[in-house]
A = this chain, B = another copy of it.
Amino acid sequence: MAKFAIMGHGTLGSGLAEVARVNKDEIAARLGEAVEVKYILDIRDFPDSPDADKFIKDFAIIENDPEVEVVVECIGGTKVAQEFTRRALQAGKHVVTANKELVATFGKDLLAIAAEKNVNYLFEASVGGAIPLLRPLFQCMAGNQIEEIAGILNGTTNYILTRMVQDGASFADALKEAQAKGYAEADPTADVEGIDAGRKICILANLAWGKEVAPSKVSMTGISAIDLKDVDIAASAGYKVKLLGHALRLDGGKVAAYVAPHLVSEKMLLASVDDVFNACMIRGNAADEVMFYGRGAGKPTASALMGDVIDAIQHREKRRELGWSESADLADSALLPMKWYLRGDFTAADAKAVCGEVEEIAPNAVITAAMSEIDAKAVAEKLSAAAMLRVL
């Protein structure tokens, strides 16, 4: 019998308690051992919960109970969550989390504590929600040199972009709809400005290349400035506008990572990923491209948390050697060559005169040859372009 504690009883914490209860027979059969929630830590009361007898308000009870092997942090943020995570690891307990902000910002230190204490710190749920993504990357693809990662890593923005494409809604209206449906928070900044996706691409890059890519060093552009005009022009030319987290390994070992909206050709599977769904493409030099798809947020994320709890128990004797070390050698993402979409009061001939061959995709919009963001901005300025977007 293995016992674990859940900290926080919001969507994720309560979802996990439910999964542990409903699937306990399957889990025991797979693991060869029963798994049980012993405590649920929350400052609120839940007298009607089927787990009502498990609620506590004092973290020290978890910290000091040797029966608790695994602690699942569903608190969020980086203050209390970080303190309790540190203390749980120091107390020799495995910790599982969905907290991308904490993992992206303080993961290196927390993993070092986990290594020192010989316990697991696992965070499959922090990227892609319910989608198996981190373990396939660091385990199944461990024989690859990872070359590129490109993902729709934020469900809120993908929902908003889908409404813009399918219903012709403006960004502002689509955001309101997302808020009404509970897909976007009252303060949607972290989602719509690409910060959430940025944390996730950092975690993926950390695992792919073993060196820290700090969110503070990653360029993040969201979708709040996306004009419906460009979504429509892109659609008419066979592209969908998607917010992508993108990370690349360059020749010489440098790594580049950024978040920005891209035109994605409808020929690519990624373009067909709509609504709140997430998907991530990983390209390795042995596997070539693989893609993972599913629900990137909300209650289904409990699947990933439960998987990590089981994995921590399976690796209680010999821990998962997981982590990243010193800072990655980062390339400036503004120097990466890529194609650009430009729109404005200019003709394809005007654009050609400024930057060479272009593809005209509408009377007032072109796609350029590959060039850096710096060069593309210079071109856009010369043409007085009203909009510029990356093309994947």
Binding site for B on A (CB under 8 A): 15, 19-20, 22-23, 26-27, 29-32, 124, 130-132, 135-136, 138-145, 210, 269, 272-273, 284-295, 300, 302-307, 309-311, 314, 317-318, 321
Contacts and interface: CB of A to CB of B under 8 A. Distances in A.
B23 A143 contact: yes
A159 to B, nearest CB: 16
A309 B143 contact: yes
A275 to B, nearest CB: 11
Residue of A32, A272, A273, A321 with most partner-chain B CB within 10 A: A272
Residue of A269, A273, A307, A318 with most partner-chain B CB within 10 A: A307
Contact of A141 (B29, B132, B285): B132
Nearest to A15: B286
21 contacts: A20-B143, A23-B285, A23-B286, A32-B321, A132-B136, A132-B141, A139-B307, A139-B310, A141-B303, A141-B307, A142-B306, A142-B311, A143-B305, A143-B307, A143-B310, A287-B304, A290-B293, A290-B294, A314-B321, A317-B318, A318-B318
A331 B183 CA distance: 39
User: This chain: how many copies in the complex?
Assistant: 2
A27 B29 CA distance: 33
B286 A143 contact: no
Given A23-B285, A143-B302, 18 more contacts: A22-B145, A29-B210, A124-B140, A135-B140, A136-B140, A140-B307, A142-B306, A142-B311, A143-B303, A143-B309, A269-B272, A272-B272, A286-B300, A286-B302, A286-B303, A287-B294, A287-B295, A287-B300
A15 B285 CA distance: 12
Contacts of A304: 140, 287
Contact of A144 (B32, B291, B303): B303
Contacts of A130: 286-288, 290
Contacts of A32: 321
A302 B6 CA distance: 39
B293 A291 contact: yes
B27 A143 contact: yes
A295 B288 contact: yes
Nearest to A35: B143
A303 B318 CA distance: 24
Nearest to A268: B272
A273 B291 CA distance: 11
Contact of A135 (B135, B145, B306): B135
A147 B273 CA distance: 22
Contacts of A292: 132, 290-293
Contacts of A145: 22-23, 26
Residue of A23, A132, A135, A289 with most partner-chain B CB within 10 A: A132
A27 B310 CA distance: 26
A145 B285 CA distance: 34
A139 B138 CA distance: 13
B136 A19 contact: no
Contacts of A124: 140
A273 to B, nearest CB: 7
Contacts of A31: 142
A284 B309 CA distance: 17
A143 B295 contact: no
A205 to B, nearest CB: 15
Contacts of A307: 139-143
Contacts of A22: 145, 285
